[in-house]
Amino acid sequence: MRGTNLLVATMALSALVLIGVTSVGSTTATFTAASTNPGNTFQSATLSMSNDKPNANDLVNITNLVPGDTANRAVTISNSGNTGFTYSASVSASANTLLWSDSTNGLQVTVKRGAVVVYTGALKNMSLTSSGTIAAGGTDTLTYDFSFPSSAGNSFQNLSQDFTVTYTATQLAGAAR
């Protein structure tokens, strides 16, 4: 009898295991839905500027300068990028002659944006603060009135002075979009 009970118990246990496996493997039906936001893109802007006097001696190249000489030149700054900017300007020189270092009798400049004077004084000290906004594709023109003071004496003879004007664009502030 003991063998029969063991066989019945084993069969009952096997049946319960089979029922459990079957019920664990079953699934219930549910509804689902999906929605997407396709093709999203961020593309950064291009900040680019140029001027119409980009080569050496394009802005000014004067020889045989004498006290009292003046020169009027213009440069157009162009926004060749696709975002607006403001720009500033500064001047530097590699040589340091009296034409550069003497802030009274050395080279002088007055810079105008339209009719507005934005700087006047010694060329070596020229610094232009930020312009107004130059939109993508826009331009701005600066007029330079250079002068060699008539008060310059004999110590200014036979000098040569180079200088570079550097324009620096700054993007407009970012905005909530």
d(CA 113, CA 36): 52
* CATH number given to 49-171: 2.60.40
Residue 47 has pLDDT above 70, yes or no: yes
- Summarised one tens digit per residue, pLDDT across range 71-83 is 999 999 999 999 9
Question: Strand pairing partners for 92?
Answer: 164
> What does the DSSP 8-state code read for residue 134?
B
End-to-end, the C-alpha distance of the chain in Å comes to 86
What's the whole-model pTM score? 0.78
- Look over the chain and give the mean of its residue pLDDT values, rounded to a whole number: 90
Domain ranges of the chain: 49-171
Strand (E) or helix (H) holding 146:
strand 139-147
- For residue 175, pLDDT over 60 is answered with yes
